[in-house]
A and B are shown apart, each in its own frame.
Chain A
């Protein structure tokens, strides 16, 4: 940017900043309001919405925790961790097979796996429910693990494949020379070289699995299998009037992913940009 001094330039700059900061307030204030409400009493909540809570008590957090949030959180953590591992490994294997192994029908297989990117989960919803009911997996942890993995493998494979394809051929040749089998070459050499993109895909999958609602809502109903997004809505309907508890639950659901975003921003942005742009 070239500096443009002078009166007009200064005015423009002031307006620019005013606008950008206003927008930041519009984004941040609702979030701040959510956090503050988790500390209010129910009476305070129905009073002036802009007032500060009278005390910083974690009572609502304790209540939320005891009224099911601990269970939702456990399920969310489990589903997120297991589906992240499953998705990233299955996708990395596939990417390796597609880019570095001479497999038959490579183009067909590539299109088969990546084509899954084009399909909306909503479209498959009714048959999937029937299928999982028939398998006896409806309303189970397994349903979410399988669905989160199956529906994210195309995107994840897409990202890892695009990265692996650019690794130099000499790497494989050197590995072969050293007497490494395919298996060892994958784990010891190729996978470590893909660390940046693996990090991106791990973070993006965590964001997805933690926040997913459609499958979680349709495939789970009972306590013990509900994840946070679904659990929050049932917390809302069961304790309809004790709103601070709901706000506390919302903060518990939001905080981990916000922290994750700030910690892994670089990788998340990279993954998102590659995911949409290639």
Chain B
């Protein structure tokens, strides 16, 4: 009896963490499903059960689909630059002979990831600004006047401009992580490749890429999951405009929930984000569990 009490007492160590996670992470998640089946009356605040109406509304909502499209675009571009681009860049940096320079370059590239997305977003808001922004000035200076435009003010360029900013902000982070993965490759393997007379390109393709594939897989999932949670930069740079063209799921949820007070609909959008990010998380778990690369 005493032993059992003693063991139960041990739970006190994990109780605060468990309580916080259950109350503030899991409970709201469950409530969200319930909310998504309700319709709020904005004026009286009363709720009514409407079943799957909010989800039907989603299917008919063109902005929901264009938001989803923007998230997908975000994911695709980020995979290109922040996964494959970063892997290549990390390998290129390893080609620099001085280790101090390697570290220095990686640190420089990381700086934008240390500062907040809000600062980065505001900064690029100004860089893209048609009158005072250096981007248009630069284009005009090199004779590309026709390309100078109101980057964030047009439907066709707003989202690409935001995505470009976020590549600037995030590539250093993944480059750093790939560098760690590359450095964990035992030196002898590279040594053996060098004896075989393998050139740098073949070495990258046949040694580096296969041996960091676990990190590549993880980075892909982290990147895609992040792409479906984008909020900050869009909010700061365009708030989803012009004419909802740069709306993403996160900002469309915010707009419906907290500007239009349509909580039920916002909860339905949240469910979609949940399904996508959860799917990726499970895939991630599966990849890590499958065991790592054996040297």
- Using Cβ atoms and an 8 Å threshold, which residues of chain A touch B126? 37, 243, 247
**How many residues on A have C-beta within 8 angstroms of the other chain's C-beta atoms?**
94
**Contact assessment for B277 and A253 in the assembled complex, using a CB-CB cutoff below 8 Å:** no
**Contact assessment for A122 and B253 in the assembled complex, using a CB-CB cutoff below 8 Å:** yes
**How many residues on B have C-beta within 8 angstroms of the other chain's C-beta atoms?**
94
B79 interface residue, CB < 8 Å from A? no
CA A277 to CA B168, docked complex, whole Å: 23
One of A24-32, A56-64, A169-177, A193-201 contacting the partner? A24-32
A184 interface residue, CB < 8 Å from B? no
CA A57 to CA B52, docked complex, whole Å: 60
- Using Cβ atoms and an 8 Å threshold, which residues of chain A touch B110? 261
**Contact assessment for B177 and A31 in the assembled complex, using a CB-CB cutoff below 8 Å:** no
**Contact assessment for A277 and B13 in the assembled complex, using a CB-CB cutoff below 8 Å:** no
- Using Cβ atoms and an 8 Å threshold, which residues of chain B touch A27? 108-109, 111-112, 168, 172
B97 interface residue, CB < 8 Å from A? yes
- Using Cβ atoms and an 8 Å threshold, which residues of chain A touch B278? 118-119
B51 interface residue, CB < 8 Å from A? no
Tell me how far the C-beta of B163 lies from the nearest C-beta in chain A, rounded to whole angstroms. Answer: 16
- Using Cβ atoms and an 8 Å threshold, which residues of chain A touch B242? none
- Using Cβ atoms and an 8 Å threshold, which residues of chain A touch B186? none
CA A36 to CA B233, docked complex, whole Å: 23
Indicate which residue in B7, B29, B92, B218 contacts A104 across the interface (CB closer than 8 Å): B7
Indicate which residue in A26, A113, A229 contacts B17 across the interface (CB closer than 8 Å): A113
**Contact assessment for B18 and A273 in the assembled complex, using a CB-CB cutoff below 8 Å:** no
CA A93 to CA B12, docked complex, whole Å: 9
CA A210 to CA B114, docked complex, whole Å: 10
**Contact assessment for B13 and A103 in the assembled complex, using a CB-CB cutoff below 8 Å:** yes
Closest to B8 in A: A104
Q: Interface of chain A, helix or strand or loop or mixed?
A: helix
- Using Cβ atoms and an 8 Å threshold, which residues of chain B touch A218? 254, 258
A214 interface residue, CB < 8 Å from B? yes
**Contact assessment for B114 and A260 in the assembled complex, using a CB-CB cutoff below 8 Å:** yes
**Contact assessment for B21 and A49 in the assembled complex, using a CB-CB cutoff below 8 Å:** no
- Asked whether A150 and B25 contact (CB < 8 A) given A23-B109, A126-B263, the answer is yes
- Using Cβ atoms and an 8 Å threshold, which residues of chain A touch B254? 125, 218
List residues of B whose CB falls within 8 A of some A CB. Answer: 7-8, 10-14, 16-18, 20-29, 31-32, 35, 89, 92-97, 105, 107-112, 114-119, 122-124, 126-127, 131-134, 137, 168, 172-173, 176-177, 180-181, 190, 194, 200, 214-215, 218-219, 222, 225, 228-229, 231-232, 235-236, 249-250, 253-254, 257-258, 263, 266-267, 270-271, 273-274, 277-278, 281-282, 285, 288
Q: A27-B111, A147-B24, A254-B119 are in contact. List 10 more A-B contacts (CB 8 A).
A: A30-B123, A102-B10, A104-B8, A109-B14, A116-B25, A116-B26, A124-B28, A126-B253, A154-B25, A253-B115
